[in-house]
Amino acid sequence: MHSNDRDRIVLATVVFAVLFSQLLLYPGIADLVEALGAGETTSPLTSTALDASMWFLVAEFAAYVVFVGLWGIASDATGKRTPFIVASALAGSAGYAVLALIGAFASLSFGGVLLLRAFQGAMTVGALSLTMTMLMDLEGGHGRNMGAAGIAIGLGAAMGAPVGGQLTAVDPLAPLAAAAVLLGLVGLLVTLATDRAPSTRRRASAILEGVRRRPTLSIPYAFGFIDRLTAGFFALVGTLYFQATFEVDAATTGLLLACFFAPFALLQYPMGALSDRIGRTVPIVVGSLCYGVGILAVGAAPSVTLAAAMMVVVGILGALISPATMALVTDLAADGERGLAMAGFNLAGSLGFLGGFLIGGTVASQYGYELAFLVVGGLEIAIAIVAAPAFVHLSLGRGSLSLEGRDV
């Protein structure tokens, strides 16, 4: 096996493990926050199960936003990826483990729990973002490499959700313990891949300036924001919507989420390769329009069977968009700035998750699930319409950009 192919598999496995560990917590999130003490306080953060769940998820992604850029700058400045991934994975593993131990044997205010959750998120994001950057460093086609990242993300989410539901049925804290073990393994596994980061050392200010001079990166960042917003929406609001509307348990909820994540995962690699051939414009713009309509259809489905079917359709459309969007980041970023460029994409995505939790959770709590689906689906449609002229402009003046299926 060629070393690029071997490393692609290793790195995709690492991304899978990080996402799998993250999604383990989602189907039983209401039971988990109760086990961590959310029901024992009168804080506004814990007034309802939805509020406590929302803030527990927000704490992690707020830390993602603050720290992802720091991991990227550190990696680009030193010309190394692997040591930072090992350190972040092991520290993230410790964060999950401490949360599990507190839930089982100790008592801590929910505010303290949220601080620990933020620490775990700040560490974990380094492993995720820099492993994706290592995939950017590989040769073999940007769409193909990002397709490998996408299939790992999707499979991790697809398998993590139902497994997390089953683990929750055994013990609400079991997903935390499993996540701790998985991230510990990540710290070992990533050492099997070759670190291909550009070896030239650069000052952080020079890296920041280089990325600042590439405003076109704002296009994939904007799509990454909205796409992750929808994922955050389904992770929190979708989970509670399915349980409230169709009266299903955590295990069945995990299977419903898998209806989205399974096709989303399995089609990432071929869809990424497709974008290498036909370009990024059609998969991203047209795919986003259809994706937004699909979200509206999930919220309008009158039965759990139809909702599951529409989740499958939305998953297929998500697989069309995701690798092309990540590949566009690689197309536009300079070699020595990939760590920060991917960090920017993940920062936008983390803000999107936060938006999905906060906007979706707030709208659903105040105005109902129907309006929440309308708002989120409408945002996905709107970004596609607004960004279409920018894609046309870039396509006409693309130069060496890979907007029409050509690598940089």
Is it the case that residue 362 has pLDDT exceeding 70? yes
CA distances from 375 to 73, 227, 235 (A): 35, 13, 16
Higher local confidence (pLDDT), 26 or 307: 307
Q: What angle do CA 242, 288, 338 make, to 5 degrees?
A: 105
Residue in the structure block whose two tokens are 């349980």: 243
Cβ neighbour number for residue 182 with a 10 Å cutoff: 23
Task: Specify the pLDDT at position 212.
Answer: 67
Task: Specify the pLDDT at position 408.
Answer: 39
Task: Specify the pLDDT at position 311.
Answer: 93
Which tens digit of pLDDT belongs to each residue from 257-302?
888 878 887 888 889 888 888 888 888 888 999 999 999 999 999 9
Higher local confidence (pLDDT), 104 or 257: 104
Residue-number span of the structural domain to which 156 is assigned: 3-396
Does residue 404 lie within any of the structural domains?
no
Task: Specify the pLDDT at position 405.
Answer: 43
The helix/strand/coil state of 330 is helix
Does residue 405 lie within any of the structural domains?
no
Does residue 186 lie within any of the structural domains?
yes
Inter-residue contact 404 to 279 (CB < 8 Å) = yes
Does residue 142 lie within any of the structural domains?
yes
Inter-residue contact 260 to 314 (CB < 8 Å) = yes
Coarse DSSP helix, strand, coil percentages of the chain, rounded to the nearest 5 percent:
85, 0, 15
Q: Which of 66, 65, 69, 100 lies closest to 84, judged by CA?
A: 69
Give the CA-trace dihedral at 362, 365, 367, 371, to 10 degrees. Answer: 70
Is it the case that residue 395 has pLDDT exceeding 70? no
Task: Specify the pLDDT at position 191.
Answer: 93
Tokens of 224: 């990454």
Q: What is the mean pLDDT of the chain?
A: 84
Q: Which of 200, 210, 221 lies closest to 334, judged by CA?
A: 210
Task: Specify the pLDDT at position 188.
Answer: 93
Average pLDDT over residues 189-212: 72
Predicted confidence band at 361 (pLDDT cuts at 50, 70, 90)?
A: confident
CB-based contacts of 188, cutoff 8 Å, min separation 6: none
The CATH number for 282's domain is 1.20.1250.20
Burial class of 277 by CB neighbour count within 10 A (0 to 12, 13 to 18, 19+): exposed
Is it the case that residue 39 has pLDDT exceeding 70? no
Is it the case that residue 245 has pLDDT exceeding 80? yes
Does residue 403 lie within any of the structural domains?
no
Average pLDDT over residues 183-209: 78
Task: Specify the pLDDT at position 85.
Answer: 95
Predicted confidence band at 207 (pLDDT cuts at 50, 70, 90)?
A: low
The whole-angstrom separation of Cα 363 and Cα 275 is 35
Higher local confidence (pLDDT), 126 or 402: 126
Predicted confidence band at 399 (pLDDT cuts at 50, 70, 90)?
A: very low
Sign of the dihedral defined by the CA atoms of residues 20, 255, 113, 153, in that order: positive
Residue type, 20: F
Is it the case that residue 234 has pLDDT exceeding 90? no
Predicted confidence band at 403 (pLDDT cuts at 50, 70, 90)?
A: very low
Tokens of 256: 């419903």
The whole-angstrom separation of Cα 225 and Cα 231 is 10
Task: Specify the pLDDT at position 42.
Answer: 60
Task: Specify the pLDDT at position 88.
Answer: 96
Domain count, the chain: 1
Residue 50 half-sphere exposure, CB side, CA atoms within 13 Å? 21
Predicted confidence band at 215 (pLDDT cuts at 50, 70, 90)?
A: confident
Which tens digit of pLDDT belongs to each residue from 310-335?
999 999 998 899 888 888 888 887 77
Q: How far is CA 379 from the centre of its chain?
A: 18
Does residue 202 lie within any of the structural domains?
yes
Task: Specify the pLDDT at position 352.
Answer: 84
The whole-angstrom separation of Cα 161 and Cα 167 is 10
Higher local confidence (pLDDT), 1 or 234: 234
DSSP one-letter string for 186-200: HHHHGGGS-------
Inter-residue contact 21 to 158 (CB < 8 Å) = no
Which value, in Å, is the radius of gyration of the alpha carbons in the chain? 20
Average pLDDT over residues 97-122: 90
Is it the case that residue 18 has pLDDT exceeding 90? yes
DSSP one-letter string for 9-51: HHHHHHHHHHHHHHHTTSTTHHHHHHHTTGGG---GGGSSHHH
Task: Specify the pLDDT at position 291.
Answer: 94
The secondary structure of residue 138, as a DSSP letter, is S
The whole-angstrom separation of Cα 180 and Cα 17 is 11
CB-based contacts of 88, cutoff 8 Å, min separation 6: 71, 123, 124, 125, 126, 127, 130
Which of 2-6, 219-223, 281-285, 313-317 is the least confident region? 2-6
Does residue 406 lie within any of the structural domains?
no
DSSP one-letter string for 259-298: HHHHHHHHTHHHHHHHHHHH-SHIIIIIHHHHHHHHHHHH
Q: Which of 281, 287, 289, 251 lies closest to 406, judged by CA?
A: 281
Which tens digit of pLDDT belongs to each residue from 48-98?
777 788 888 889 988 988 898 889 888 888 889 999 999 999 999 999 999
Does residue 407 lie within any of the structural domains?
no
